Amino acid sequence: MSPRRPGASAHCQSSPKADFWQFAHFFSRPHSKITDPGTEPAIAREEACSHVNFRRLLPSLLTLAGLLLICYVSLEYAWMLIEQNRLARELQSQSSLNQAANTAGSSDLVRLVIPKIHLSAVVVEGTSRKALLVGPGHVANTASPGDTGNAVLAGHRDTFFRHLGELLRGDSIYVERGGKVYEYQVTDTKVVEPREISVLKPFAGNQLTLITCYPIHYIGPAPKRLIVFAQSSNSAGQGENRPFAGDESR
């Protein structure tokens, strides 16, 4: 019988310590989840069906979203038209009373008319989102249109002021208030940053300043502001007691 070699004996024979580490190593390894082989095709079919159903529904969902958006915009435009008609009737009533009394009050409604761009709209007070949906808004703490000072009006670039960029020097702008008509002529236009507030500063004469976002056809929040300056062409800035000829709205 040949003697055992110590090296071979130590390598082939196991010890309690070696058995413990082999046991711990087995349980420490990550094991994949055991599933029934018969359920895997069913799960795959369900996932494929869900993807197919979503693809089939996607065009319908997009169409529904588009229709809802169209309805929302249509309702806003309808409400704007109704409010403008109501304000126009109220302005006509005020004009008749003021002409009879030969006076004009600071709270009188104002109609802005720009023949070149076929705009005729009653101005609302304030520049909140709700106000600007109804009409051009008179900026607070600026002169009333027709009065001495700087009267500032703001409007949306996709509604009332969408053609404001077409105005050039010398174009006429009319303001109807209290039965009187004030005529202005465009003197300058410029594009400024939104934080530019110098356009709101008081003016010694009779100035009308129109503001809208720019570029006019920009998709998303527009980064600039388009400013149109106009000065009164009436003598001494006084309005004329004459009826305004026609409605220049589109």
Query: Is 204 inside any structural domain?
Result: yes
Q: Which domain holds residue 211?
A: 71-237
Query: What is the chain's mean pLDDT, rounded?
Result: 80
| Predicted pLDDT at 238 | 61
Mean pLDDT of 126-137: 94
Query: Is 150 inside any structural domain?
Result: yes
Quote the CA–CA distance of 202 and 70 in Å, as a whole number.
41
User: Can you give the CATH number for the domain in which 154 is found?
Assistant: 2.40.260.10
Query: Is 91 inside any structural domain?
Result: yes
Q: Residue 71: what are its φ and ψ, rounded to 5°?
A: -65, -40
Query: Is 127 inside any structural domain?
Result: yes
pLDDT at residue 107 tops 70? no
Which pLDDT tens digit goes with each residue over 38-87?
555 666 666 666 666 767 888 888 888 888 888 887 888 888 899 999 99
Query: Is 95 inside any structural domain?
Result: yes
Quote the CA–CA distance of 122 and 124 in Å, as a whole number.
7
Query: Is 42 inside any structural domain?
Result: no
Total domains, the chain? 1
| Predicted pLDDT at 12 | 43
Query: Is 17 inside any structural domain?
Result: no
- Per the CB < 8 A criterion, the answer to whether 134 and 123 are in contact is no
Query: Is 32 inside any structural domain?
Result: no
Cis preceding linkage at 215, omega within 30: yes
Per DSSP, the residues of 168-189 read: -TT-EEEEEETTEEEEEEEEEE
| Predicted pLDDT at 63 | 87
Beta bridge partners of 180: 177
Which pLDDT tens digit goes with each residue over 82-95?
999 999 999 988 87
| Predicted pLDDT at 52 | 64
